[in-house]
């Protein structure tokens, strides 16, 4: 397969530098600033010490082009990952 589609946006895989899921957490700086953390870190290390604001799939094309697909909960993210996985088989 040479392309993938996420939420109706299609990407040519030869242009994708990085593709990953992550969780968005508040940084503590202000109410709107967030940062990405790995799902594994949230599951194992966070121990409820951070506030999760969403989940996402991130597609990095270049140093200046990154596409973010944000979901409100882990179940929605898992559904999106499953759809993506079927395209990558």
In the predicted model, is pLDDT for residue 1 greater than 80?
Answer: no
Question: For position 60, what pLDDT does the model report?
Answer: 98
Give the integer Cα–Cα distance in Å for 24 and 36. 5
Question: For position 72, what pLDDT does the model report?
Answer: 96
Global confidence as pTM: 0.89
Closest of 86, 66, 85, 56 to residue 18, by C-alpha: 66
Pair 52, 43: CB distance under 8 Å: no
Q: What is the pLDDT of residues 6-33, one digit of tens each?
A: 999 999 999 999 999 999 999 877 878 9
In the predicted model, is pLDDT for residue 67 greater than 60?
Answer: yes
Domain boundaries, the chain: 3-88
């Amino acid at each position: 397969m040479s392309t993938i589609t996420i939420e109706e946006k299609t990407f040519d895989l030869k242009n994708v530098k990085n593709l990953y899921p992550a969780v968005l957490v508040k940084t503590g700086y202000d109410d709107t600033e967030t940062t990405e953390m790995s799902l594994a870190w949230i599951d194992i290390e966070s121990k409820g010490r951070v506030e999760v604001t969403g989940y996402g799939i991130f597609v990095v094309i270049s140093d200046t082009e990154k596409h973010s697909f944000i979901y409100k909960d882990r179940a929605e993210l898992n559904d999106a990952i499953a759809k993506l996985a079927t395209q990558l088989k």
